[in-house]
Amino acid sequence: MECVFGLVGDGFAVIVADTSAVHSILVHKSNEDKIMILDSHKLLGVSGEAGDRAQFTEYIQKNVHLYQFRNGIALTTAAAANFTRGELATALRKNPYFVNILLAGYEKDIGPSLYYIDYIATLHKIDKGAFGYGSYFALSLMDRHYHSGMSLAEAIDLVDKCITEIRSRLVVAPPNFLIKIVDKDGAKEFAWRESISQA
């Protein structure tokens, strides 16, 4: 019952993910961060098997850092997306990772961008996207209300509409969501939307 979705606005990209760690019929925790800060200006929102999610995202993060360390320049968002897709494609024929990824980033000369990478290594540059059961509701709402050049306030309002719809329509809806944004100032946590507080 995972849900990850994101969109590109005017000078920023936002990724939202549920924070439930679930196995079978058990909820292990409600504050799992599924959005990794890849580097100073990139976010990686991931859904999928918990072990694959942790292992693959850390592998990508460390390799992106290694590239920057070796070459003295950071990968662009497009380059990071293509590298991630290549690693998934290679693993697909050996020991596949069951992870679906939304990769958001910001470059000074290009602006914000969002990439969709699924578990069979499909890569697309998109303006809005979602994974998981919540995507049925998030995508329909974004189709209705999304427009290019959205302000941050408009984007967060749309995000809140998506979260409300997922909570009210999905049978086993995740209670808590984490919102992170990336803009010219870098990648950062923006807000939590909690209906269950974690003690």
Joined together, the tokens standing for residue 132 give 């998981």
The alpha carbon torsion through 60, 64, 66, 72 (nearest 10 deg) reads 180
**Residue 29: closest CA among 42, 20, 38, 18:** 20
- Region at 96 (left for phi over 0; alpha for psi -120 to 50; beta for the rest): beta
**Tokens 């606005």 appear where?**
9
Q: What is the pLDDT of residues 57-84, one digit of tens each?
A: 999 999 999 999 999 999 999 999 999 9
* Spacing of C-alpha 3 from chain mean position: 9
**Tokens 């990648």 appear where?**
187
Q: How many Å apart are CA 67 and CA 73, to the nearest integer?
A: 8
Cα-based angle 184, 70, 43 (whole degrees, multiple of 5): 35
Between the alpha carbon of residue 190 and those of residues 5, 9, 55, 94, 167, the distances in Å are 15, 15, 25, 37, 20
> If pLDDT is split at 50, 70 and 90, which confidence band does 199 have?
low
Q: What is the pLDDT of residues 81-108, one digit of tens each?
A: 999 999 999 999 999 999 999 999 999 9
Q: How many Å apart are CA 101 and CA 82, to the nearest integer?
A: 12
130, pLDDT greater than 80: yes
3-state secondary structure 87-125: HHHHHHCCCCCCEEEEEEEEECCCEEEEEEECCCCCEEE
The rounded percent of the chain whose pLDDT value lies above 90 is: 80
32, pLDDT greater than 80: yes
**Residue 102: closest CA among 25, 6, 198:** 6
**Residue 125: closest CA among 137, 134, 116:** 116
Q: What is the pLDDT of residue 170?
A: 87
3-state secondary structure 159-184: HHHHHHHHHHHCCCCCCCEEEEEEEC
Arithmetic mean of pLDDT, 155-160: 96
Between the alpha carbon of residue 24 and those of residues 75, 172, 175, the distances in Å are 38, 12, 17
> If pLDDT is split at 50, 70 and 90, which confidence band does 31 have?
confident
Q: What is the pLDDT of residue 198?
A: 60
176, pLDDT greater than 70: yes
User: What is the reported pTM?
Assistant: 0.92
